[in-house]
Every structure is written in structure tokens, then in C-alpha cells.
């Protein structure tokens, strides 16, 4: 057993751990990163964000999907093999891993591979696969950034061939003709849209009535309409009873005795925090009722007795929502700065949410339903993609800009975009909101022509003019 000392010990090398480690190193601290898997990057790089978004772009590119917008849905898509997709995926993952390794080397961050187990508040043991202690690491501060994994109940007969979770799906050796997706959340909706774009007949099943209920309802319904147009079917308000694996298909039966079947099933009903190997009980920590590590506003871990462990932090998926790569990165950076007493800001009150369905979605701020619950006086400005010259030039894809603003103060309260480039466009609105801009901010600006960004001005004028007429 080798003994090591570090100022900052990071458990997990996903986005949260990466940014925390680099931030601490930039502050002159000795940093050790402990990673359970043989490769760096965590789920985000190896089985989550990067692979899924790479797959999306590969599908859109290789199938010539956007040509449909010019030539109609009868325009035949280019046939794509699983080998074509895997080639693109492998190339991107290898390049991203190289970049991460270089970043760690550049910042003199020591990496140890093995499973970290807390001995006490200042020591972790690092074990190999045989449970042998390879290292004992003493640290001044610790950061838990172990992420999450698909929630896979024992009642579901996963087999890596017909019944898969989102991680296993990336290793599929063929493109199914029919696919059932259990779960209409972000992961389920993204993969459902990918396979629908490939020509697979996809059925999404969920307890809720429509896809992505966390969204502004108008945007969620627009997504569903867009996906219906490429053959995706949504079965909402369904209670799952059994999942059965047959010789040639998977059968899903519901509590109402109806059933559906398909070649392959993707189980996408939630994720679980990776806490089981950490031995956090040695620190007096218990996970909360949702299975996450509780933290305070500085990301310091809370004990079961409601006291705080001032030298142990936790960030990212392991602490629960919002569980986005972007927010996890910022949590990690802030935690490192908080640990060493650097001047910093609190975690932002609002941030963009990007969902990479086809079409993509991004939002920032309040939804319309939230404003109704808060009894705000608000107005809505809309711009439809068909009104925007750039969209006509590129492909006449469906899409909406939706801006919510206060009817009295004109303050921008929420921005919701569905359509091509939504995840890039949202940042214009995010910056405006961060400076407490009012709706006339977009009216007074001159945007490049032709661009998608013009949608902000069109939507702002639409909302402002409606408000004037009401008065």
C-alpha cells in the first residue's frame, strides 16, 4: 500500500470532477483524481453526453435528414449502418479522452485508478478489483463527483441485446426495425428521436400524457408533433406491468391489460447516484430519500445529524438535480474555490437547459405554467421559424421562439426555443436575462440578416405589440 498526500482529492473524473481538479490546480494546490474506471471522463464522456450528441450529429449528417425539409418526408433517407455510426463515435471519444489527459498533465494533476472508499474525513483507501488496498490518500479537502448510472430494477430482464439501458444501447450491433422506449424524459426522448430519424418505428411509453413534462407545455407539445411527423408514436398515461423477453421480440404489458411489442426495448426511467462503494457511512453521511448526497449552498456535505462536513464537498449528479453536464461543471469549479477560500459567486439562479432531441430544445427561466402558479401578469412573444429567412434558406424546419415577459415591468422572465440551433441561440437570451433586460432590449437591437437570431426581435415585437393593443 502506497501513501499519498494531496491538498484536494477528487473522486470521479467526469465533468464536475474535471473542472474542480483544474480549478484547484490553478490555485496552486496539489490535486489527486481517483477514477474507478480504466478511462477518464466519467459517464458524460464515455456513455452519456458526448456519445449521445455525437450519435445525433452522425445520424443527421449521414442520413441527409435535413433534405426532407426541402423535398418532403417522402425523400428517401440515406441508409446508414451501425458501423458508420460507431466509426464516428469511436473517433470522437478517442479525441476527447486525449484532450482530457493533456489537460490533467498540463495542470500536474495526479490520476489514480481504483475504487475510493472513505476511511475517515481525511483519508480514502483506493482498492483494485480484488478489494486490495493500492493507495491510502490523505487529503485536506475531498470532492465527491462520482456521477450517476441508469436506474435498472432487478425486475427488468436486461440482456445487452433486446432489453437495454442508455449505456448498453451504445453497444448495440444492429439498427432495430422497431423500438420501444420506456420513459419520456430527456434521455428517452433524445434516443427516441435519434432512432426515429434513422427510420426505426419508435413507440415511447410514459406515465405522463406527453413527452418532456418538465418543459413549457407548448414547447413539449410542439416536439411531440414534430416527432409524430417522422413516425414516432407516443403512448401516454400508461402504467407498466411486465416486461417479457421473447425469442424474436420484447413484449410490454400495462396495468390496463393492453400491450405493445418491438424488436428492442430501451429502459430510460431515471438514474441512480453512484454512492454504494464510497462508504460514506464512515463519515456519518446518509443519502436522502431520493438516493442523493445532501449538501448545503457551498456544496459541503451534510451529516445525518444535520451538521456539516466542512472539508468534504459533493457536486454533479450525485447530489441530484439539475443533473446537467453544464451545471455539474460549474458546481465543481465553485466547490473548489469555496474549499480554498477564493472569492466567488453563488450558483446561478437560472441557467440554460439544452435537450438534444430532433428538433433540439433549449430554455432559460420560468415556464408559462410556473408564471400562472405564481400569479404573474405576463405577456408572450412568439416567432415561428417559418417567418425567419435563414430558416427558409437552410431548410424550412419547424420551430418556435417563445419569450415570456412581465406585463408591467417588461422584464424578461423566460425564453424557450425549439428548432435548429436552439441550444446555441438560447445564450443570447440567457445573457440578456442575466443583466435584467426588458423585452424592448431585443426590439432595439440590430441582428445580422439572415440569421436565426432575428427570431428574438420578431418575438419581442410580437409580444410588445400585443401588450400595447391590450392597453
CA distance 60 to 358: 9
Average pLDDT over residues 90-106: 97
Per-residue CA distances from 433 to 183, 278, 351 (Å): 32, 40, 10
Q: Are residues 82 and 230 in the same domain?
A: no
Q: Say whether pLDDT at 471 is over 70.
A: no
In a domain, 146, yes or no: yes
Q: Are residues 262 and 335 in the same domain?
A: no
Q: Are residues 176 and 295 in the same domain?
A: no
In a domain, 347, yes or no: no
In a domain, 348, yes or no: no
Q: Are residues 143 and 120 in the same domain?
A: yes
Q: Are residues 113 and 170 in the same domain?
A: no
Q: Are residues 144 and 212 in the same domain?
A: no
Task: Please give the pLDDT value at position 73.
Answer: 67
Q: Say whether pLDDT at 384 is over 80.
A: yes
SS3 22: helix
Q: The domain that contains 455 carries what CATH number?
A: 3.30.390.30
Q: The domain that contains 200 carries what CATH number?
A: 3.50.50.60
Q: Say whether pLDDT at 74 is over 90.
A: no
Q: Say whether pLDDT at 76 is over 80.
A: no
Q: Say whether pLDDT at 266 is over 80.
A: yes
Per-residue CA distances from 320 to 64, 190, 271, 282, 337 (Å): 38, 20, 10, 21, 21
In a domain, 353, yes or no: no
Cβ neighbours of 122 (radius 10 Å): 16
**Cell 460514506 belongs to which residue?**
280
Residue-averaged pLDDT of the chain:
95
For residue 458, name the pLDDT band (cuts at 50, 70, 90). Answer: very high
Residue 208 burial (C-beta neighbours within 10 Å; 0-12, 13-18, 19+): middle
Task: Please give the pLDDT value at position 344.
Answer: 87
For residue 152, name the pLDDT band (cuts at 50, 70, 90). Answer: very high
Q: Are residues 22 and 100 in the same domain?
A: yes
CB 102 within 8 A of CB 109: no
Average pLDDT over residues 326-342: 97
Task: Please give the pLDDT value at position 70.
Answer: 78
What domain range includes position 456? 359-470
Q: Cis before residue 262, ω within 30 degrees of 0?
A: no
How many domains, the chain? 3
Percent of the chain scored above 70 by pLDDT?
Answer: 99
CA distance 236 to 184: 9
Residue ending a domain, among 269, 301, 326, is 269
Average pLDDT over residues 325-336: 97
CB 117 within 8 A of CB 124: yes
CB 56 within 8 A of CB 190: yes
Cβ neighbours of 343 (radius 10 Å): 5
Q: Are residues 144 and 278 in the same domain?
A: yes
| Cell numbers standing for residue 60 | 443527421
Q: Are residues 77 and 91 in the same domain?
A: yes
Q: Say whether pLDDT at 86 is over 90.
A: yes
Which residues make Cβ contacts (< 8 Å) with residue 198, sequence separation at least 6?
59, 63, 77, 80, 175
Per DSSP, 233 falls in state E
For residue 318, name the pLDDT band (cuts at 50, 70, 90). Answer: very high
CB 236 within 8 A of CB 208: yes
In a domain, 320, yes or no: yes
Task: Please give the pLDDT value at position 247.
Answer: 87
Cβ neighbours of 332 (radius 10 Å): 29
Q: Are residues 66 and 194 in the same domain?
A: no
CA distance 250 to 43: 27
Amino acid at each position: 500500500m502506497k501513501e499519498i498526500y494531496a491538498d484536494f482529492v477528487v473522486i470521479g473524473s467526469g465533468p464536475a470532477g474535471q473542472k474542480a481538479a483544474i480549478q484547484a490546480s490553478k490555485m496552486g494546490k496539489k490535486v489527486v483524481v481517483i477514477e474507478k474506471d480504466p478511462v477518464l471522463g466519467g459517464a458524460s464522456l464515455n456513455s452519456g453526453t458526448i456519445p449521445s450528441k455525437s450519435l445525433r450529429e452522425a445520424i443527421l449528417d449521414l442520413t441527409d435528414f435535413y433534405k426532407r425539409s426541402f423535398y418532403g418526408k417522402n425523400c428517401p433517407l440515406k441508409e446508414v449502418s451501425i458501423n458508420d455510426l460507431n466509426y464516428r463515435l469511436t473517433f470522437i471519444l478517442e479525441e476527447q479522452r486525449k484532450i482530457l489527459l493533456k489537460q490533467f498533465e498540463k495542470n500536474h494533476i495526479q490520476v489514480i485508478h481504483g475504487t475510493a472508499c472513505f476511511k475517515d474525513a481525511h483519508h480514502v483507501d483506493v482498492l483494485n478489483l480484488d478489494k486490495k488496498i493500492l493507495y491510502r490518500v490523505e487529503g485536506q479537502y475531498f470532492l465527491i463527483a462520482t456521477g450517476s448510472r441508469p436506474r435498472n430494477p432487478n425486475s427488468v430482464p436486461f440482456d445487452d441485446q433486446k432489453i437495454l439501458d442508455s449505456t448498453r444501447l451504445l453497444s448495440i450491433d444492429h439498427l432495430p426495425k422497431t423500438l420501444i422506449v420506456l420513459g419520456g424524459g430527456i434521455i428517452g426522448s433524445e434516443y427516441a428521436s435519434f432512432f426515429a430519424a434513422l427510420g426505426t418505428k419508435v413507440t415511447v411509453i410514459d406515465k405522463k400524457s406527453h413527452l418532456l413534462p418538465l418543459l413549457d407545455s407548448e414547447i413539449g407539445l410542439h416536439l411531440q408533433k414534430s416527432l409524430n411527423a417522422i413516425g414516432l408514436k407516443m403512448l401516454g398515461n400508461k402504467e407498466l406491468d411486465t416486461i417479457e423477453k421473447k425469442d424474436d421480440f420484447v413484449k410490454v404489458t400495462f396495468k390496463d391489460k393492453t400491450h405493445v411489442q418491438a424488436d428492442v426495448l430501451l429502459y430510460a426511467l431515471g438514474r441512480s447516484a453512484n454512492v454504494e462503494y464510497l462508504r460514506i457511512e464512515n463519515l456519518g453521511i446518509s443519502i436522502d430519500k431520493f438516493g442523493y448526497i445532501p449538501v448545503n449552498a457551498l456544496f459541503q456535505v451534510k451529516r445525518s445529524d444535520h451538521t456539516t462536513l466542512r472539508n468534504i464537498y459533493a457536486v454533479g449528479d450525485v447530489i441530484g438535480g439539475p443533473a446537467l453536464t453544464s451545471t455539474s461543471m460549474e458546481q465543481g469549479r465553485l466547490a473548489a474555490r469555496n474549499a480554498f477560500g477564493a472569492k466567488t459567486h453563488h450558483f446561478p439562479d437560472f441557467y440554460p437547459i439544452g435537450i438534444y432531441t430532433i428538433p433540439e430544445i433549449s430554455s432559460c427561466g420560468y415556464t408559462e405554467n410556473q408564471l400562472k402558479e405564481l400569479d404573474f401578469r405576463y405577456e408572450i412573444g412568439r416567432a415561428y421559424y417559418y417567418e425567419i429567412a435563414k430558416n427558409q434558406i437552410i431548410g424550412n424546419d419547424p420551430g418556435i421562439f417563445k419569450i415570456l415577459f412581465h406585463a408591467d415591468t417588461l422584464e424578461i422572465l423566460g425564453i424557450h426555443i425549439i428548432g435548429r440551433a436552439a441550444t446555441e441561440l438560447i445564450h443570447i437570451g440567457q445573457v440578456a436575462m442575466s443583466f435584467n433586460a426588458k423585452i424592448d432590449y431585443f426590439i432595439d437591437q440590430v441582428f445580422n440578416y439572415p440569421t436565426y437570431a432575428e427570431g428574438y426581435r420578431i418575438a419581442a415585437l410580437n409580444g410588445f405589440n400585443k401588450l400595447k393593443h391590450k392597453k
